[in-house]
Amino acid sequence: MSNPKRKSNDRVFQWLGISCIILAVGLNFALKLTAAQYAVQGKIANRSGDYFTAESHLRKAIQLNPRHSRAYYRLGEALDGQGRYEEAIANYRQFLRLRPNSDLGYNTLGLALYNQGRLDEAIDCYRRAISINPNFSYAYNNLGLALSQQGKTGEAIANYRHALKINPDYVNVYLNLGLMVNEQGNLEEAIAYYRKAIQIDPYRASGYYYISYALYDQGKVDEAIDYSRQALKLFDSSRNAPNPALIHNWLGYMLQEQGKITEAIEEYQRAIILEPSLVEAQDNLQYAQQLLNSQKSALPSQ
């Protein structure tokens, strides 16, 4: 005859076992949620430019869940933002080990390698991104940029144009094409690309800045000055704006050529205030001050 007390104990042990399993599953689920929460906090910190806080959150996410692929990607961004490029590259590679079919991952790794001057590796990454996603216009643009750095102009232009087939309003491609043909001396074609860029995005300061250079090379100095002033007006609200110190220095140079030495000096001084280490502006300022002093000493005494 069976023992009722033993049956009762067996049921207790069964319920305890089930409860432990449920508890373990619940803890594992909570663990993943916590890792995800740290990853989200890291993403938010990255977007605000607080890369050190982002790094801290993302390392905690990875510690809790070593297979959290997005945490590696965002940690790469945080390290990139700190200038720790090799560490960033290592984390992008780890992301790709976990997500080998990520076109975004290969494109981002390519950018990091490009910024380190590792052009061949960057090109391989961009090509991998395109093989995964043939409609990835950003990868075509980045591939064009890397090829242009290698002097492969024809291939670069082909990739830029492919990017525009996918995305006809891709402003950066028009700017990159403009810069490339500008270097070849095709000023009218370059200006046409720049104008197309600012037609799409009228607040893109770099478009006005590049037009200014091309117009100057055509001898249209007054127009070039107007475009430089427009670039400076747009600087605060512009995306991907050029360094304003460079624009002030360039504007000063053109004003100096027109004999407007006092105005040129003011522009050089503004450039140096913004970037004290800008040697070109320092040299230009010194020369302009010498010119002004020479003009004053040449005036007849009263």
Mean pLDDT computed over 155-167: 96
Question: Is residue 5 predicted with pLDDT exceeding 60?
Answer: no
Question: Is residue 16 predicted with pLDDT exceeding 70?
Answer: no
State pLDDT tens for residues 221-280: 999 999 999 999 987 544 556 789 999 999 999 999 999 999 999 999 999 999 999 999
DSSP tag of 237: G
State pLDDT tens for residues 231-241: 999 875 445 56
The pair of structure tokens assigned to 1 is: 């005859």
Report d(CA 260, CA 302) in Å as an integer. 24
Q: What is the pLDDT of residue 26?
A: 46
Report d(CA 79, CA 219) in Å as an integer. 45
Q: What is the pLDDT of residue 243?
A: 86
Half-sphere exposure at residue 140, Cβ-oriented, CA atoms within 13 angstroms: 21
Q: What is the pLDDT of residue 236?
A: 58
State pLDDT tens for residues 98-140: 999 999 999 999 999 999 999 999 999 999 999 999 999 999 9
29-38, 191-200, 201-210: least confidently modelled range? 29-38
Mean pLDDT computed over 5-22: 51
Domain locations in the chain as residue ranges: 169-242, 245-293
Question: Is residue 9 predicted with pLDDT exceeding 80?
Answer: no
Provide the 10 A C-beta neighbour count for residue 109: 27
DSSP tag of 202: T
Q: At what angle do helices 51-64 and 4-47 cross, to 10 degrees?
A: 160
CATH number of 245-293: 1.25.40.10
Helix (H) or strand (E) holding 285: helix 279-298
Q: Are 296 and 261 in contact (CB under 8 A)?
A: no
Q: Is 3.40.50.300 the CATH number for 169-242?
A: no
Equal CATH topology for 169-242 and 245-293:
yes
- The CA-atom distances, in angstroms, between 270 and each of 124, 174, 246, 279 are 42, 30, 10, 13
- The CA-atom distances, in angstroms, between 44 and each of 57, 135, 228 are 10, 28, 35
Q: What is the pLDDT of residue 223?
A: 97
Q: What is the pLDDT of residue 182?
A: 93
State pLDDT tens for residues 48-84: 999 999 999 999 999 999 999 999 999 999 999 999 9
Closest CA to 178 of 150, 217, 139: 217
Q: What is the pLDDT of residue 11?
A: 56
Three-state secondary-structure class, residue 208 = helix
Q: Which amino acid is at 91?
A: N
The pair of structure tokens assigned to 219 is: 């001898």
Report d(CA 39, CA 75) in Å as an integer. 9
